[in-house]
Amino acid sequence: MRVDRLLTRQITASVFVYPHYQLPTVMHTPNSEPTPPNPATELAKERNRAAEERTLMAWIRTCLSLISFGVGIDRIVAVLQQNLGDAVNPLRLSRILGLSFVALGTLAMLAAAIDHRYQLQRIQRNDLIYVSRHSPSLVVALVLAILGAIAFLGLLLGTVISF
Amino acid sequence: MSSSAPKPPNVQFELAKERNRIAADRSLLAWIRLSLTLIGVGFGIDQTVSLLYDQVGDVINPARFSHILSLLLIGMGIYTTIMAAVDYRGELARLNQAEYAYTPRQPLGKTIALALFAIAILSATTIVFRLLIHRQVSAL
């Protein structure tokens, strides 16, 4: 059948692209007639792969936002201070916040890329069982909430002190 | 086959669970981006306005509108991140159960949209009010 040929070609290609690829289960009946791989499962795997790709792209967008906001906040405040003739304080709040954003974005991107690679290998398994695990996104959310709280307190206390 | 034999895992169901998990991941990431924008814009507005006030040589009013707006935006960013993380954890817990059951819940987006709408109305009112005062002062 044409579908079977296509599926076989795709599986062969997968073995070359992903060395850990596990071939679809071929069930042997007592008559030793191999059962063809279930196309529905293979299509589900393909949907998972596409979903993983979209997730990685979402990570890229998030990390790009983190890094560009970090650099932006630091540079804009530094340029404004220089233009005003003020002495640029190397340990000002905007610099600490900016550097934290850049560091968070870089580390998150690394973690997401490693996780993506691992997940791609995982979904190739034919005995896949869903395992709940902590994602780097939860860590990023918590760190962002902490950084937001630092910014909030910094602005609030800065005003109170200057007042 | 004995009745006590373990049921083989349904790979399609497990793959669907994986897809739901990464969909929840993407939702959390989208919320993170929104929070980052709120926090970044809030902080940026306050820093820029403070420095511009310094340049003009005015006394900085601690209760100025830009400062309150910045604090509101940053507060909203923190709230959004925490609520999205809580929702994400709930979704992970539901996925961990053997039988997944969809539970309708209050959308976080509605709360944030309403809060942003209120902030927008407040900002517009303040700007219009200032314009009117400025015109009256210049007319005198």
pLDDT tens digits along A2-13 = 545 554 555 454
Cβ A61–B17 below 8 Å, yes or no?
Answer: no
Whether residue A37 is predicted with pLDDT greater than 60 in this model: the reply is yes
pLDDT (average), residues A36-46: 85
Q: Nearest CB to B12: which of A41, A77, A80?
A: A41
Residue keyed to tokens 């009946």: A29
Question: 10-residue block means of pLDDT along chain B (140 residues)?
Answer: 64 90 94 96 90 73 83 96 95 87 86 94 92 83
Q: How confident is the model at residue A163 (pLDDT cuts 50, 70, 90)?
A: very low
User: How many other C-beta atoms are found inside a 10 Å radius of the C-beta of residue A77?
Assistant: 24
Q: Is A22 on the interface with B (CB under 8 A)?
A: no
Q: How confident is the model at residue A16 (pLDDT cuts 50, 70, 90)?
A: very low
Provide the CA B43 distance to its chain's centre, in angstroms: 15
Q: Half-sphere exposure of A143 toward its Cβ, with a 13 Å CA cutoff?
A: 15
Cβ B40–A69 below 8 Å, yes or no?
Answer: yes
> Which chain A residues have a beta carbon less than 8 Å from that of B75?
152
Provide the CA B129 distance to its chain's centre, in angstroms: 28
Global confidence as pTM: 0.80
> Which chain A residues have a beta carbon less than 8 Å from that of B30?
58
Residue keyed to tokens 């983190």: A66
Using CB atoms and an 8 Å cut-off, which of residues 82-101 of chain B contact chain A?
82, 84-85, 88-89, 92, 95-96
Above 0.95 for ipTM, yes or no? no
Q: Is A121 on the interface with B (CB under 8 A)?
A: no
Helix axes of A93-122 and A136-162: crossing angle, nearest 10 degrees = 170
Give the pLDDT of residue B9: 73
